Amino acid sequence: MSARNVAWLGPTLAWIILLCATAAVAWLGLEASGRLRFGGALAIAALMLGTLAFGLVGVGRNPALLRLVAGAAFLFLALMFFLSFTDLMTRLR
């Protein structure tokens, strides 16, 4: 491949997945109910984040140090959610 060629196929596939996922979330909001809507919307959001991170941002191609920083951010977020909801559970009981 020439150096002046632009690799667009991967990002375009990721974009198509993201558009389909957006339509699926909208459908869930209009047609589904209860747990399907709640769980489905959050699961699709996670899929969209993964598609954005790996398909468009290219997290997988980054050096190990950058992946470590991103992973640390997710770990701290998970800890924050875990501790907060542990506190909530003790209050509700």
> Angle 34-51/9-31 helices, nearest 10 degrees?
170
Q: Which of 60, 65, 86, 90 binds another protein (CB under 8 A)?
A: 65
Q: Does the protein bind another protein through residue 76 (CB under 8 A)? A: yes
Q: Does the protein bind another protein through residue 36 (CB under 8 A)? A: no
Q: Does the protein bind another protein through residue 77 (CB under 8 A)? A: yes
Residue 7: partners with Cβ closer than 8 Å, 6 or more residues away = 1
Q: Which of 60, 63, 86, 93 binds another protein (CB under 8 A)?
A: 63
